[in-house]
Structure 1
Amino acid sequence: MSPQRTSTTMELLPLVCLCLLSCSGDAVRVVVEEGSDAVLPCLISTEDLEGNKFDWKKDDQKEVFMYDAGIHHNNGRPGQDEQFKGRVSHFQDQLMNGNASIKITRTKMADSGTYSCDFPRHQPRQTFNIELVVDPRIKVVVKEDSDAVLPCLISNNDISGQVFDWKKGGQDVFIHYSDGRTTQGPDFTGRVSHFQHQLQNGNASIKIRKTKMADSGIYSCIFPDLRPSQTFYIKLDVAFDQVLRDRTGEVSGAAPEPTIHRPRDTKDSSLLQCEAHGVPPLKVEWKDSDNNTLKSESTPESEKGDRSSITLNITVTKTDNYRCVATQKKISHQIFAETSVYIQGAAPEPGSNGWFTGFVVVGAVLGLVFIVLIVKKCRKGSTPVAANRQPDADDDTPMIETEPVLVLHHAG
């Protein structure tokens, strides 16, 4: 067997297993992650197809790939839909075995749909249907009633004046208009917010509070006014409890809620410590209220049995809400704990306002001394003066005006 045929055979091996597990009549469901390659199976017994014809279409409309006796879309045949140009190939060395399967590379969310593999010259004519589901590359898994941050970053450009529209299927979730106004869909009223201060960095992410099971689904973040328009997809899974299943169906432990400690608080800073324990692999991060990941120090990860333990320290110097986010990477489950920090304010930097403060203090002291001297002078001038004493011309003692005194004499 040639190396090329060996490679192709190995590539089709999981395909056979997929058919054995997923076929229902002629229908096969293929699920892949966005950006990966998808093999859509189509086999018509062991008939040699090299001189025959087969035609692949999507949703009975778009031309995906046509082969006709050696002429196909990759060697000069016109008519292929723009969506699939340069991304579809067949298995030339498997045609002799009746294999009309195709491979779509670099799958996109728009590739999801129902595909038909048609043999128009076969008697009787045969058509096979395959459903392709392209899951978003980005997945967020949270526990019911917790908060979920759905990421959407388009670049480092300021998008404060851009329209971006979040949808769940055809349902409105959140719309940001070019004038800064925002609206929320009926099922999300009062539960969705964005990161206003991060718009200047191209961050169109949203946070959904108090998630419900019904919030699970595929969300799209759309920029309709860009040329070309751009759409990003995120899958949200809201778990009923902290026991989730991974893609193989195996039960796995979700990330447990982390614990936050504050070993040291000063007027200028606060030391925050986060501890997370759970089934590895675990990822732990500190984030601020704008969802920025903060630089922190971690202790070496320790494992005991099937449990992993991570401690993450960070020193913060500004007032904000800080979240410690723990992610169970195997099933993409995410949960966080949050704490609020109030910083009174650091002392003035040398050379900034210190001279002004010193000037004010010195002025206040001098003013106080002056007042004391005046009071002393006043007290000295208020000493009684003999009635027959006339002040000297050069006497600098202040004259104090006194009220006249009435003296009563008793007749004797």
Structure 2
Amino acid sequence: MALLLRACLCLFAVLVFVDGSETKLIVREDEDAILPCSLGAADISSRVFDWKKDGRVEVFIYDDGRYYGKGLSGQHEQFRGRVFHFPEQLKGGNASIVIRKSKPADSGTYACIFPHEQPERRAHVELIVGASPRPIITANETSDGMLLLCEVNSASPEPVLEWRNSSGNILPAEKPQVSEKNGSYSVVLQTTVTKSGRYRCVSTQQKIHHQVYTETHVNVHEGAAPKPVIAVKETKDGLLLQCEVYSASPKPEVVFRDSSGNILAAEPQVTERGGSYDVILETTVTKSGDYQCVATQKEINHQRSTETRVNVPSGAAPKPAIAVKETKDGLLLQCEVYGASPKPEVVFQDSSGNILAAEPQVTERGGSYDVILETTVTKSGDYQCVATQKEINHQISTEIHVNVPSGKKDKEELQQRKKHEEELQQELNEQKKKHEEDLRQVRLLLEEGKQQKEETA
């Protein structure tokens, strides 16, 4: 380190003289900044030189062997314990200083002054702290290709990031994610590539004419398994986790793991199409927690995973079970919900959302409720059994399509027709009886008239 500093100082001693000139120094945050100053080859060990920032802030002063921290006071607290000179090089005219672990607040114009020289000798150094460090690149495989992430931290002024391919073309990228803290900027830029090759992330700070880059080579595997897709479904036994991996070659090994890394029991369903494989894996869990589906292709050293967190509701109604039975009146639909707490409201609905008439049978066991609901339908269509627990904002349903046999429809229509015919026949019989009664009354009247006539004669 001492050798490196001496090499830097020798370079600056050649470039900088105390003649009123100014140079620009750009460093990264947390790096040591060497501010150069020289009075040629003159011995300055018994002289006075003073470093100030922006014309007024006391940075460092040397006076015939005394300096801040050794016989002199008045140094600004910003620089206390951070600024040092080079005693062994004073006899060679070197008045340079080093600022340890520079920070953006150190940026500014520094003056190196020899106040007792005739005429006064001075030089200026513009220090810029926050030059973008070399970008950090990470690569992650996705279902769409290779996701490249470029990250630059603690840069000031704010840098502009670009992704470029091996031909130097700028690649389309997502909107950069920028965060600022105490004048320093951190920037993240993402892009997705679908071809193997060399890619470069370039960080540019135009205000300070600074540019730096990092290059990486990526291999995009054709046929590499994409990120698994996980779906979650409620069942009466718990939560059914379904993991799907499509168009992978060679065939991947797909497993479910719990948060402890244990492999869960599951039997994969594998389909092959033109050398590519689709894999579906299902397992049922009864405990809340983090679960991971992992797809591994050892032949190409490729592994992808997706993690999900599930909450198994405590007492939440499971998915209703529907049974269908034929009866002489139509189809009997029976819905069953077991082990639910709080007590669920269970209803049958037709395809229009209308609630069907039904009376639930409720049984309570240790705070949990079993509900059975039955209704009879005479028309084919879609029907749904819905269980609702408003107290825990939980609702779950099962839908079924039923076909009412046409013979039952004919029988129902025949019964209705027969009933109508019977009603008509009954009405005819009543009319006939009334007519016969009217005739009888007429005959009686005629008979009475005849008798009266005979009595009068």
Task: Please report the TM-score for the alignment, with normalisation by the length of structure 1.
Answer: 0.46
Larger radius of gyration: 2
Structure ranking higher in strand proportion: 2
Task: Please report the TM-score for the alignment, with normalisation by the length of structure 2.
Answer: 0.42
Q: Greater relative contact order: 1 or 2 (C-alpha under 8 angstroms, separation 6 or more)?
A: 1
